[in-house]
Structure 1
């Protein structure tokens, strides 16, 4: 009998909605916390899903992924995880011609010019998820430097991006791809310009809704995935991918390319869980 493990974390206080839908659609699957002592070799496939506490123990998480990949199939694969868990990959995608939200990376000990901190900017760590450590700073370069210094004091490399105001009215769009095929989309209301709450303790609460991706959004999403595959050949065959886009006057811009443990927003699209289940089963032939 085929067995599939959906990797989560014991730090979640309740089962994630995506995980519950996938458990229902994929009866041969079960949730297992990546931190626990699990016989991963007993599974035909291990799918990284809600392992969202890895940001504070990335080396341990990557070592876990390496171990699992030696005894069974892990998706997405380790080289993709290693590349994708640090947002500095955005610089590579921008160099490859993808319309990326302008990004400046500042490692501890490095300096940054005032121009990068002018206006409304977002300062966040490059290793983060769920808006953890992200801060919107409104035309206050000193406050931006203070947050930058706080991140550096923690040993974190920082990412500085201009805040694209259209997100406040149009929201962020997430496009989901399964085995390279577009599946569905969801919209997320602006988070950083609002009072953030962390009811799960692991990520900022989100206001989500169903959405339809425009042709322009799909074009940018496919360009991002194609560029990732050119940069990293292992990214050419992904079980799942989520492309997060922000609206701008120049058109859709890539905010993040989520290839490690993204929510796939299955509750917001009819049949999404069944499509994910079918895609995962197909990996086993």
Structure 2
């Protein structure tokens, strides 16, 4: 059978034998997208990206929704991505995915006038101690040295993300050296407002804001992801926040069909970008079911 669109997930979410709230959320949201696509006439199905039996030439498009094991299997996923892009078209495009999957894209957005946190990029294989990297960040970028955040340039779900206090630099250096040997890393100024006020996730389809959530870290943590106990609630953004968000998406190399823009107030209380997600972002369809219809219609208007 041939399809217009295949919704991409990962093997954890295809016919799971045991359910928990996280898996149930994925199944619900993917089903909302599947139903929305079918409702406006698309032939659609759902497959794990690593399905060895599926012929990817039988679908016109593939849309990334819950391929969340890809960062733990990045080499395998990269090979698959290069192969599948020659067999079908990707939503969002492969050009955007390649750009967005590596957080060096933040440099490009900053060059296009988007406010980002103070960030020092440490490239893979670079010979530098954590102490010297922090000194470079303070002297070259004006970092506040009360606390810093270290994280990979290619990652998701807060993998290898660490908050480091000045008193902890020595104990983190061995881990830092190990990480930089294997991948590029980012050192950022810790953002105190994310802990106290939260981080806003803004959903955007075809360049226009549709809905938002506020993510708040659990007491004593700095990571807002619900994987780490963070809470999520619907959020009504200001005109300033909507304008900032739409400017972020417009600064990408091409307009994504769907995106999530994570924003916050930085340590100077100015709006800044935490992350632009246009690869496989969680879009909170379970809180905003009609947004799945917006996505389906955005695909139809742009691609069909």
Instruction: Identify the TM-score tier after normalising by the shorter chain.
Output: 0.7 to 0.9
Say which SS state the counterpart of residue 136 (structure 1) adopts.
Answer: strand
Unaligned runs of 5+ residues in structure 1 are 230-235
Shift in Å, 1:29? 2.6
1:252-263 matched pairs, under 5 angstroms? 252-263=271-282
Give the stretch that moved more between structures: 156-165 or 104-113: 104-113
Give the stretch that moved more between structures: 77-86 or 18-27: 18-27
**Per-residue CA distance 1:26-82 (angstroms, 9 max, x = gap):** 334322111112111212221011111111333432332233232222111111111
1:207-226 matched pairs, under 5 angstroms? 207-226=231-250
Match of 1:19 in 2: 30
Shift in Å, 1:9? 0.6
Distance 1:56 1:222 in 2: 31
Match of 2:142 in 1: none
Distance 1:171 1:204 in 2: 14
Residue 61 (structure 2) pairs with residue 45 (structure 1) = yes
Distance 1:260 1:32 in 2: 17
Distance 1:206 1:24 in 2: 29
Say which SS state the counterpart of residue 70 (structure 2) adopts.
Answer: helix
Match of 1:35 in 2: 50
Distance 1:58 1:244, change over 3 A: same
Distance 1:159 1:191 in 2: 24
Distance 1:187 1:57 in 2: 30
1:1-285 matched pairs, under 5 angstroms? 3-12=4-13, 14=23, 16=26, 17-27=28-38, 28-37=43-52, 38-107=54-123, 108-111=125-128, 112-114=133-135, 116=137, 118-140=145-167, 141-153=169-181, 155-190=182-217, 193-194=220-221, 204=228, 206-229=230-253, 236-248=254-266, 249-269=268-288, 271-285=290-304
Unaligned runs of 5+ residues in structure 2 are 17-22, 139-144
Give aligned pairs, total.
275
Please report the TM-score for the alignment, with normalisation by the length of structure 1.
0.86
Greater gyration radius? 2
Distance 1:270 1:34 in 2: 24
Shift in Å, 1:193? 4.8
Distance 1:157 1:284 in 2: 35
Distance 1:150 1:85 in 2: 22
